[in-house]
Amino acid sequence: MKMEAIGRLAGGVAHDFNNALTPILAVSGLLLNDLSPHEPMHEDIREIQEAAERCARLTRQLLAFGRRQPMQLTCLNLNTVVTRMEKMLSRVIGEDIELVKCLDPALGNTRADEGKIEQIIANLAVNARDAMPHGGKLTIETRNVTVGEESAADLAVKAAGPLVMLALSDTGEGMDEETRAHIFDPFFTTKENGKGTGLGLSTVYGIVKQSRGNIWVHSEPGKGTCFKIYLPQVDEASSSCQPKAPVPHAPSRGTETILLVEDEANVRRTARRILVGKGYTVLEAENGEEAIKRYHDHKGTIHILVTDVIMPGMSGKEVADRLVAAEPALKVLYVSGYTDNAISRHGVLDHGTCFIQKPFTSEALAAKVRKVLNNVSTTKDR
């Protein structure tokens, strides 16, 4: 109950927190672009931006723990994810720790968010490194697991059936039973002050649960630690096994007209400043009713609607539905600081929807608007 309550709390504060962070991140980015790195204020503004980025990461970690972050599920093979991360992991754990892979060549596929799986592996690898200050061995293993009804209950997975397992084992210091009982609690850490937030393993826990899986840990003092993650196996071809086509770099500038709808005045001012600075003409509206009026009063073409999802009165989805009905060629980009569940209830995370999560940087917003106008991508940004 404690974990669920904290998860609900995280979802409740995310919207206001993300709205507050958006102008800090975006405006600091604009200022850094205008200043030479040699100017005295450059370093101060960079400090502000880095602090805001840390706050944004903290929010994402809390949302991951509460299982309330947007997820982009694809069919993938864990072997491919591990192999792609091998060089990065070697740098993370250092030369005094041996990295060993035991990957099942016949491993089945699963449906998960590839970026979140990478986050799980990276977090567990960092924990393993910290548990082996004098060197050791980190083993990453994958294999297929067939689960019956009884063992499915033991593993707390959603349903019996075939699973894929990802295990990370280290030869480090290990944990006693009392420590092991609290490792997934948010803000629990055995590290000294300033060495961690205590959210790494709670983030892993939340991602696994949101992926319909389970995580199991075995550890003893002086005998190392083993984390095992179980995810449902799917009978689909893995998109992660296919080589990814390079995405051509698109300039973020344009000359089109944008209708910007945002009820938070500071976020609206910031977004307008970003987009006007990139060459766009921007019409502003603070709610859905005003957006409809601005659209019909405007004499020229409006090329894209950039709208907050959840607003007092008319929602962003309702605004988009009405305007697209009047002009089917109108592009739509949704923006929100709310969590996955809240956005989904408004029908905005459907396949093919263009969406960007607050807080965003100035370049991220400009690039996303350009992509939507060019029909380059409709994937969700976090």
Q: Is 58 in the same domain as 148?
A: no
Out of 41, 65, 89, a domain closes at: 65
230 against 192, higher pLDDT: 230
> What token pair was written down for 62?
């809390």
Which pLDDT belongs to residue 184?
73
Residue 201 is part of a domain; what is its CATH number? Answer: 3.30.565.10
364 against 353, higher pLDDT: 364
State the chain's maximal CA–CA distance in angstroms: 74
248 domain-assigned: no
- What is the C-alpha to C-alpha distance for residues 374 and 187, in angstroms, rounded to an integer? 43
Burial of 306 by CB count in 10 Å (0-12 exposed, 13-18 middle, 19+ buried)? buried
Q: Is 131 in the same domain as 201?
A: yes
Q: Is 171 in the same domain as 217?
A: yes
Q: Report percent pLDDT > 70 for the chain.
A: 75
> What token pair was written down for 104?
């099942």
Out of 17, 39, 65, a domain closes at: 65
Out of 65, 86, 105, a domain closes at: 65
Q: Is 57 in the same domain as 96?
A: no
Residue entry with tokens 């019409």:
283
> What token pair was written down for 133?
């200050």
271 domain-assigned: yes
For the segment 1-59, what is each residue's pLDDT rounded down to a tens digit? 445 555 555 555 666 777 888 889 888 888 888 888 888 898 899 889 888 887 776 66
Q: Is 208 in the same domain as 287?
A: no
Q: Is 23 in the same domain as 94?
A: no
> What token pair was written down for 7?
């998860």
359 domain-assigned: yes
Q: Are strands 331-336 and 161-170 parallel, antiparallel or unpaired?
A: unpaired
Whether pLDDT at 275 is above 50: yes
Burial of 86 by CB count in 10 Å (0-12 exposed, 13-18 middle, 19+ buried)? exposed
- What is the C-alpha to C-alpha distance for residues 18 and 250, in angstroms, rounded to an integer? 27
**In the chain, how many domains are there?**
3
> What token pair was written down for 200?
């790494």
Quote the DSSP letter at residue 259: E
Q: Is 218 in the same domain as 263?
A: no
Q: Is 169 in the same domain as 272?
A: no
Q: Is 233 in the same domain as 121?
A: yes
Residue 294 is part of a domain; what is its CATH number? Answer: 3.40.50.2300
Q: Are strands 281-285 and 97-103 parallel, antiparallel or unpaired?
A: unpaired
Q: Is 61 in the same domain as 89?
A: no
Q: Are 320 and 332 contacting, i.e. CB atoms less than 8 angstroms apart?
A: yes
360 domain-assigned: yes
Cis peptide upstream of residue 359 (ω within 30 degrees of 0): yes
For the segment 178-213, what is each residue's pLDDT rounded down to a tens digit? 887 777 766 556 555 444 444 568 778 878 888 888
- Give the bridge partners for 381, in sequence order: 356
71 domain-assigned: no
For range 324-337, the mean pLDDT: 91
Q: Is 228 in the same domain as 284?
A: no
Cα(first)–Cα(last) distance of the chain, in Å?
Answer: 28
73 domain-assigned: no
- How many helices (H) and strands (E) in the chain? 12, 13
- What is the C-alpha to C-alpha distance for residues 379 and 115, in angstroms, rounded to an integer? 13
Q: Which domain holds residue 11?
A: 2-65
345 domain-assigned: yes
Which pLDDT belongs to residue 71?
65
Q: Is 58 in the same domain as 95?
A: no
Q: Tell me how long the chain is.
A: 382
- What is the C-alpha to C-alpha distance for residues 110 and 283, in angstroms, rounded to an integer? 44
242 domain-assigned: no
Quote the DSSP letter at residue 131: T
Q: Which of 89, 167, 166, 102 is nearest to 129 (CA)?
A: 89
pTM: 0.56
CA 214 to chain centroid, in Å, comes to 19
For the segment 235-252, what is each residue's pLDDT rounded down to a tens digit? 876 554 444 444 455 567
Contacts of 15 (CB under 8 A, 6+ apart): 310, 336, 337, 338, 339, 342
